[in-house]
Structure 1
Amino acid sequence: MSATTTRGTSASKREAWGSLRKLPSGRWQARYPAPDGETYTARTADDKPLTFLTKTDARAWLAGVHTKIAREEWESPSVLAARRRAEAEMEKARSIGFSEYADRWLALIRTQPNRSGKKRAIGTIRSYKSKVDGYLIPEFGDTPVRRIDEARIRVMTDRLDAIPSPLNPRSKFNGITRPVLIVLMMILRQAARDGIIPAAPNISIPKQQPVRHDADHDDSEDVASPEQIEDLYAATPKQWAIMVLFAAWCQLRRGECLGLQRRDIEWHDDGTATLHVRRQLNANTGDYSSELKSDAGKRSLSVPRIMRDRLEAHLRDNVAPEAKSPLIPTNIRGSVPLSNTRWGYVWADARDAVPGLPPRFRFHDLRHTGLTIFAQEGATLAELMRRGGHADIRVVLRYQHATMSRDRELADRMSDRVADRIATAKRGAGEPRPVSDGHL
């Protein structure tokens, strides 16, 4: 800031360095030459004019500035004021309460892309917000973010662990603690990036555990029989019954079933058909979305022979002729796809009408059933990943129990066939046939 000429009633008094000037008010003003070539008048730390009651006070202040310049510690009044304002803002930010910062974080992630560079889905934002509003704000409230340490987090973790599972009260795990801690970790890591805390405290995220069933639950218990799938098909209203077959025999997810359109079925001259999975129905907005669960979700599948006639009849009786008509419309030959919510009610009624299904059998378990049977037919892990639209091989490894069961069946059949051949050979050689116990 360059000095301005100030008119007064007395001349400036030049010192050994700088100058002093008595103002009409009787107070004293100090001026000095700065290293940047400018001449400055005395100013406060927040860059406002500064005058002195006595000449001695002004001279002492001038001497202090001279010392700073000699030590190369001097900063221009405007730069110094800006830095101090920034420090004050940072100190204020460091004292921000958790509730206020969590709201700021939610606003940020609505526009900020995730690690893969994609904008977060509405459902994802809604899920995060439910964790913030339902668990984190009641726990921390206006507690300053910098006071949330490992000890406080352990207290909250114990409290969350004590909540019974809403799906299975007998389960050791409730499906709540892990997702809440993950959201808290994301918030605190952003706070560290914003400089509000030096670093995010260490948060121990528990391993993902099954909630619907006990820890010793076997995935094979979630598999329905082909007869039960037929019963579910019969129990579902005719205009939507094809959903059961899409899930079981084409191994589709619910959103993928509801997102199908007439143009996604490709018929061939030999009577076979290919199903193209290109989109899903967004459960939160009710709109089509081209973003499937993963890039592997976009796939083309052979429609099994067991459902082709039923699919052809469904297209004829229930689906409008336009290429983009939904395969699962709300009304017969309608243009609006059936909603996730309404299908949930339809599914619950159909499931309750079929006796003997595994406890708490979900629509998604039809997909699990289909992939299990597909594995039993000898499908490789790569073929299972492609059929199910999986991107992570660890998810598909759960079907190894099915392939191992098939492997044991084939091994036993091989054993029996070889044993018979050996026994036949021995009888031909005149040896007495041994009593077989099923082993070689």
Structure 2
Amino acid sequence: MANKKNSRRRFGAVRQLPSGRWQVRYRDPLTGALRPDEKTYTTKTDAEVRLSQLEADITREKWTDPDAGKVNFGEYATRWLKERKLEETTRERYETALRLHILPTLGPRFVVQITPARVRTWRTRLLESGVGEPTVVKAYQMLRAIMNTALDDELIKRNPCRIKGADAYDVPERPVLSVAEVFAAADAIAPRWRALVLVTAFTTLRFGELAALRRRDVDLDARLLRVSRNQAELYSGKLYDKAPKSRAGFRPVAFPASIVDALRHHLEHYAGQGPNGHMFIGPRGGRLRRSNFRDDWSAAKTKAKISPDVHFHDLRHTGNTLASQSGASTRELMTRMGHSTARAALIYQHMTSDRDRAIADRMGEMVRKELEKQAPPEESGTDVAQDD
């Protein structure tokens, strides 16, 4: 007679332990040996249901080895990064995020031990320790990418990075300079940087794109700059040129006639020599770096009476806003900015409330004219006598 406390079948078995709880054992599809389930159950029925689920998962090839995730997370994450094909600057950022913000807390754990609760605690402690929100967001995005790979490798059953909104942050509104302020800053800065200020504001090129510009990329007659490369700088100070991130980065960008003279003067006095000479170079003839003119920019803001909170990058922000206010469509803004998606362009379009009001005014004018067409003609002639 079969033992009432032990129910065996070909696939596996359930048995009652001395504690009174029920244990499930099943055939490991990898070894064929009986192995216990990860948990025990209060009733025999619960245990048998679980055994049936395991059998179905194995039959449908959806079973995951519970021991697969017992891999050191630090080693796995380090290997994950090593196997990624990344630009040098991106790899450097990832290595920093991993070393400073992820491995100190999660590195000693097994991959399977990176649970949603641990992820929440890790993220909260980073924020409480004073790490900036943008840095925490990037570290979280990296952790989520690592765990997505662990999911693909069948080390875990579900990605534990499921905190709503943790992969984004609100970018504070940056100041927009007026045209007068842009020219005031350009006139106040050292003469060799005047054209740099104007070009940044009125072409909205990124700093790396400006630093990589050559003489041959400048066409004063057509009023065009041709963007085909981007300068990157590593933490070590090493500079190198790389291709834009996407095909959208390769583009011609027009500039207004009002800055042609400034560019011509710059080419004559400050740019590198020859067609391959850099458009913007440092005071000693070397490559353009932010450090070349940081002090000059601060002094120019003070002299031009511009808020000290204005960053040099805000000139690009200003130019994008002016382009939107000038009537550029979403596609035109995307092309000018070198973006392959509409997200950034839409931000600038949403910011231009004055233009939105102008659109509303034109709509109102159309409505007024249409209503005038439908209005009945005014009565003319003598009044009709009415009965008392």
TM-score (norm 2): 0.69
1:237 is matched with which residue: 171, 183, 190?
190
Aligned to 1:203: 162
Aligned to 1:184: 143
Deviation at 1:103, TM superposition (A): 2.2
Aligned to 1:98: 73
- Output the CA distance in 1 between the equivalents of 2:363 and 2:120: 56
Report the AA paired with residue 208 of structure 1.
A
- Output the CA distance in 1 between the equivalents of 2:239 and 2:99: 26
Report the AA paired with residue 338 of structure 1.
L
Deviation at 1:93, TM superposition (A): 7.5
Deviation at 1:233, TM superposition (A): 0.9
- Output the CA distance in 2 between the equivalents of 1:252 and 1:177: 28
- Output the CA distance in 2 between the equivalents of 1:231 and 1:340: 20
Is residue 339 from structure 1 mapped to residue 289 from structure 2 by the alignment? yes
Report the AA paired with residue 180 of structure 1.
A
Deviation at 1:132, TM superposition (A): 1.1
Q: What are the superposed Cα offsets for residues 6-38 of structure 1, whole Å, 9 maximum, x if unpaired?
A: xxxxxxxxxxxxxxxxxxxxxxxxxxxxxxxxx
Report the AA paired with residue 368 of structure 1.
H
Aligned to 2:104: 138
Deviation at 1:195, TM superposition (A): 4.6
Aligned to 1:275: 225
With over 3 angstroms needed to count, the CA separation of the structure-2 counterparts of 1:348 and 1:190, relative to structure 1, is farther
CA contact (8 A) 2:330 2:345 kept: yes
CA contact (8 A) 1:262 1:325 kept: yes
What is the SS of the residue equivalent to 2:75? helix
Deviation at 1:151, TM superposition (A): 1.6
Q: What are the superposed Cα offsets for residues 119-173 of structure 1, whole Å, 9 maximum, x if unpaired?
A: x11111111111111111121231222211112112112223324465xxxxxxx
Question: Which has the greater radius of gyration?
Answer: 1
CA contact (8 A) 1:232 1:350 kept: yes
TM-score (norm 1): 0.62
Deviation at 1:96, TM superposition (A): 3.4
CA contact (8 A) 1:279 1:288 kept: no
Report the AA paired with residue 191 of structure 2.
K
Aligned to 1:158: 124
CA RMSD for the aligned pairs? 3.4
What is the SS of the residue equivalent to 1:320? coil
With over 3 angstroms needed to count, the CA separation of the structure-2 counterparts of 1:315 and 1:97, relative to structure 1, is same
1:224 is matched with which residue: 159, 177, 188?
177
- Output the CA distance in 1 between the equivalents of 2:141 and 2:241: 26
CA contact (8 A) 2:215 2:274 kept: yes
Is residue 351 from structure 1 mapped to residue 326 from structure 2 by the alignment? no
1:6-85 superposed matches below 5 A: none
CA contact (8 A) 1:373 1:402 kept: no
Aligned to 1:246: 199
Q: What are the superposed Cα offsets for residues 30-73 of structure 1, whole Å, 9 maximum, x if unpaired?
A: xxxxxxxxxxxxxxxxxxxxxxxxxxxxxxxxxxxxxxxxxxx9
Deviation at 1:275, TM superposition (A): 1.0
2:241 is matched with which residue: 267, 277, 289?
289
Report the AA paired with residue 97 of structure 2.
K
- Output the CA distance in 2 between the equivalents of 1:362 and 1:296: 25
What is the SS of the residue equivalent to 1:276? strand
Q: What are the superposed Cα offsets for residues 76-113 of structure 1, whole Å, 9 maximum, x if unpaired?
A: xxxxxxxxxxxxxx99975432223222222222xxx3
Report the AA paired with residue 312 of structure 2.
F
Deviation at 1:309, TM superposition (A): 0.1
- Output the CA distance in 1 between the equivalents of 2:302 and 2:73: 45
CA contact (8 A) 1:223 1:372 kept: yes
With over 3 angstroms needed to count, the CA separation of the structure-2 counterparts of 1:354 and 1:198, relative to structure 1, is same
CA contact (8 A) 1:250 1:370 kept: yes
Aligned to 1:108: 83
- Output the CA distance in 2 between the equivalents of 1:418 and 1:189: 54
Deviation at 1:203, TM superposition (A): 2.8
With over 3 angstroms needed to count, the CA separation of the structure-2 counterparts of 1:144 and 1:240, relative to structure 1, is same
Identity of aligned residues (%): 30
- Output the CA distance in 2 between the equivalents of 1:235 and 1:177: 38
With over 3 angstroms needed to count, the CA separation of the structure-2 counterparts of 1:287 and 1:399, relative to structure 1, is same
Deviation at 1:179, TM superposition (A): 1.3
Is residue 363 from structure 1 mapped to residue 337 from structure 2 by the alignment? no
What is the SS of the residue equivalent to 2:163? coil
Report the AA paired with residue 160 of structure 1.
L
CA contact (8 A) 2:204 2:315 kept: yes
1:372-391 superposed matches below 5 A: 372-391=321-340
2:94 is matched with which residue: 124, 128, 148?
128
What is the SS of the residue equivalent to 2:226? strand
Report the AA paired with residue 394 of structure 1.
R
Report the AA paired with residue 206 of structure 2.
R
What is the SS of the residue equivalent to 2:187? helix
- Output the CA distance in 2 between the equivalents of 1:252 and 1:375: 15
